[in-house]
Chains A and B, each alone.
Chain A
Amino acid sequence: MRATYREAVRSALRTACRRDERVFLLGEDVGRYGGAYACSLGLLEEFGEARVRDTPLAESTFVGAAIGAAIGGMRPIVEIMTVNFSLLALDQIVNNAATLRHMSGGQISVPVVIRMATGGGRQLAAQHSHSLEGWYAHVPGLRVLAPGTVQDARDMLLAAIEEPDPVVVVEHQFLYPMEGDLDETAPPVSPWRALVRRAGKDLTIVAWGGSLPKALAAADVLAREGVDAEVIDLRCLRPIDFPTVLASVARTHRLVVVDEAWRTGSLAGEVVARVAEDALYDLDAPPMRVCSAEVPIPYAKHLEDAALPQVRQIVEAARRARGPRA
């Protein structure tokens, strides 16, 4: 069936609540309002106030309460409006959820799912538009998932709920209205693996989340120029499935990484570094990165468009990675 990314998230939340009575949802406006991005619309009516909780406005505390509830045997799913707001809960996520299993010698697990919107493109300026998932991807003890397709928006969230460890799920806010195929009965693909979304032999484009549709669009443009690009959807940002990336680079010998975060200290840098460490001699050209301009993401449309990675820049980077025609 056809569904939007937003509906796929809702489908996963509904399925999780039906499957497991330990699952409950909490966050700002997740109940009556149905979530800032309408992901939980109708779930309060279906599951009641005990399972769908509108919390007071305190990110640190509703994440902390979810951690406590997870320790106490529940399976909470937290919604944080945006990755920018999640900074108010960094202590709970990074110092607590991520460390408690290890610091307790494996005695305590924190099976909490923390969903948050990320990325720009909707003119919401610098405090709602950043791509900070790389910060979470830096932290041992966390798993970080970035669904870039409608099917993954459902499957990855359901997989996250099954995890015994804390999982941060970053949903790109530009993708919520995106339509795609959704099969609610198909066996899910492991969320921890990168996937080849478009096979190609001339160069590898690595992307994830909101950058995936842009990378696929760029591959279409390149195809018209006779360049056969392979597009890898990284999907899981921690731990990263490097073997899939390395295998692709071994076939294509050229690499472009698209990352909506800022270039300096980015996950794109991590992917390039790992390819350089493990497969430098597979490369026929310097690897390229397409990232956001290193500015707070601006509000005005033409400024925001200029700041974020666009299809045109991915195509241009691919052309440069291809070098002069042999």
Chain B
Amino acid sequence: MTTVPDNDPTLGLFSVLRDDGSSDPQADPFLDDPTLLGMYREMLRIRILDERMLARQRQGRIGFYGTVTGQEATPIATAFATRPEDWIFPALRENAIMLARGFPLEKWLAQVYGNSADVLKGRQMPSHMSGRAVNQVSWGSCLGPQLPQAVGAAWAAKLKKDPVVTVGFIGDGATSEPDFHSAMTFAGVYKVPCVLICQNNHWAISVPSSRQTSSKTFAIKAHAYGVRGARVDGNDVLALYRTIKEAVEHARTTSEPTFIEAVTYRIGAHSSSDDPTRYRQESEVEAWRLRDPLVRYERYLRRAELLDDALKASMSAAIEEQIATAVRAVEPIAPPPRSSMVEDVYATVPRHLREQLAEMEAHPAPPSAHGAGH
């Protein structure tokens, strides 16, 4: 019987940041100052944006929202570790990757409102965002289907000899879905240039990760499929950056896939429809708050004298202003016209949809849901 040695990267927890704000000099990727501060700014932006959007949902202005609070490090590290031509196949908590890869905040907010400025034309719910301009594909709400798609897109890149890598995401819960296992099988058998990342946030709505596997870790599963594996501190943006960057460039140069488990915690609710006090102890949440990825990274930046109170305050103020301005601009935009929903079912609108549209338009439209409130 082959055993996995104790020092295997799928059993450990790769980290860079120490509690005192210093870093492990053997592990620190020593990024340049603009990159270090850029990652902090993006993490801070999604933290604040989530708070504002959740408040909007509670006010009834938007239909649904899922925050990533506590999990900001993985999406932001991914955004910085990939190239613009790489593809992202996200799960529920990776929408910030789009923003950090240059998708305009106003257009992102238009998706939250589903209005006529939304490039998705009001057809997909918030937290399931996508944008062709930044090569991000919509998440499959059945939890697993984006992984075979990520593998297939990587396969296309390999067949076309494009130096493009795809990054697919999944949560700890969805590793129990058949698609996870067969996507890993395909990635291993075909050796395609993809990186599959499991954000282990410990809770699949109300079911703890201990109910999803009896393996020692999620990362160790990589061995079963003949795929490289790594386990990394999911609240340590520098450890994530280094691990993801290495995996992405390895995929680009060798076509070899990697599976990464990012160990993190969902501080907030699963979504705006969830109340986590029904199934987990506040003491557990408190313990993880001490490991808040923003707080830990901030300590590092202060110690490196890249960040101080004044800079943090001005960054926060600038982000608040950017969000407030964008919300003011986007919120009053009218919903898409109802005739638009027959578009894009097919590349061209077929006769039966033209007929059904004519039937629909023979009746008056209901009162406008202008500005949301639905």
Query: Bound complex: CA of A103 vs CA of B145, how far in Å?
Result: 15
Query: Given the complex of chains A and B, what is the CA–CA distance between A87 and B130 in angstroms?
Result: 27
Hey, which chain A residues are within 8 Å of B352, CB to CB? Answer: 239-240, 242
With A68-B166, A105-B123 as known contacts, state yes or no: A95 contacts B186, CB within 8 Å: no
Q: Is the CB of A61 within 8 A of B153?
A: no
Residue from the list B142, B345, B351 in contact with A101, Cβ < 8 A? B345
Query: What is the distance, in angstroms, from A43's C-beta to the closest C-beta of chain B?
Result: 16
Task: Write the B306-350 contact mask toward A (1 if CB under 8 angstroms, else 0).
Answer: 000000000000000000000000000000000000011111001
Q: Are B119 and A64 in contact (CB under 8 A)?
A: no
Q: Does B137 contact A (CB under 8 A)?
A: yes
Contact: A65 with B152, CB < 8 Å? yes
**Interface membership of B185, Cβ < 8 A:** yes
**Which of A50-58, A117-125, A207-215, A253-261 has 4 or more CB atoms under 8 Å from chain B?**
A50-58
* Chain A residues near B154 (CB-CB < 8 A): 68, 72
- Give chain B nearest CB distance to A21 CB in angstroms: 9
A residues less than 8 Å from B189 (CB atoms): 56
Cβ contacts under 8 Å, B345 to chain A: 101-102, 140-141
A24 closest partner in B (C-beta): B159
Q: CB distance A61 to B155 under 8 Å?
A: no
Q: CB-CB < 8 A to B262: which residues of A?
A: none
> Is A283 at the interface (CB under 8 A from chain B)?
no
- What residues of chain A lie closer than 8 Å to B159, measured between beta carbons? 24, 50, 69, 74
**By the criterion CB–CB under 8 Å, are B148 and A72 in contact?**
no
Residue B346 contacts which of A62, A70, A74, A165 (CB distance < 8 angstroms)?
A165
Query: Within 8 Å of chain A (Cβ to Cβ): is B209?
Result: no
Cα distance A70–B160 in the bound complex, in angstroms: 12
Whether A64 touches B179, Cβ cut-off 8 Å, given contacts A106-B344, A141-B345, A141-B346, is: yes
| A interface, size bucket | 35 or more
Q: Complex formed: what's the CA distance from A74 to B151 in Å? A: 13
B343 touches A61 (CB 8 A): no
- Are A60 and B149 touching (Cβ within 8 A)? no
Q: Which of B106-155 contact A (CB under 8 A)?
A: 118-121, 123-124, 130-132, 137-138, 140-142, 145, 147-155
Query: Out of B132, B160, B183, which one reaches A73, CB within 8 Å?
Result: B160
CB-based contact A239/B351 at 8 Å: yes
Given contacts A68-B166, A239-B352, contact A56 B155 (CB under 8 A): no
The one of B132, B152, B160, B164 in contact with A68, judged by C-beta atoms closer than 8 angstroms, is B152
The answer to whether A65 touches B130, judged by C-beta atoms less than 8 angstroms apart, is no
B179 touching A60 by the CB < 8 A rule? yes
The answer to whether A143 touches B346, judged by C-beta atoms less than 8 angstroms apart, is yes
CA–CA, A64 and B147, complex, Å: 8
CA distance A240 to B351 in the complex (A): 10
Interface string of A66-83 (1 = CB under 8 A from B): 111111111010000000
Query: Which of chain A's residues has its CB closest to B160's CB?
Result: A73
Which residues 45-60 in B have Cβ within 8 Å of A in the complex? none
- 1/0 per residue, CB under 8 A from A, across B217-235: the answer is 0000000000000000000
Residues of A bordering B, CB below 8 Å: 24, 50, 55-56, 58, 60-74, 76, 91-92, 95-96, 100-109, 140-141, 143, 163-165, 239-240, 242
* Given contact pairs A64-B152, A71-B149, a sample of 7 additional A-B residue pairs in the complex whose CB atoms are under 8 Å apart: A56-B186, A64-B145, A64-B183, A67-B148, A71-B152, A72-B87, A72-B164
Question: What are some 23 contacts across the A-B interface (CB < 8 A)?
Answer: A56-B185, A63-B148, A68-B152, A69-B155, A69-B159, A71-B87, A71-B153, A72-B166, A92-B145, A95-B140, A95-B145, A101-B345, A103-B123, A104-B344, A105-B119, A105-B344, A107-B119, A108-B138, A141-B345, A163-B347, A165-B346, A165-B347, A239-B352
Instruction: Please report B residues at the A interface, Cβ cutoff 8 Å.
Output: 87, 89, 118-121, 123-124, 130-132, 137-138, 140-142, 145, 147-157, 159-160, 164, 166, 178-179, 182-183, 185-186, 189, 343-347, 350-352
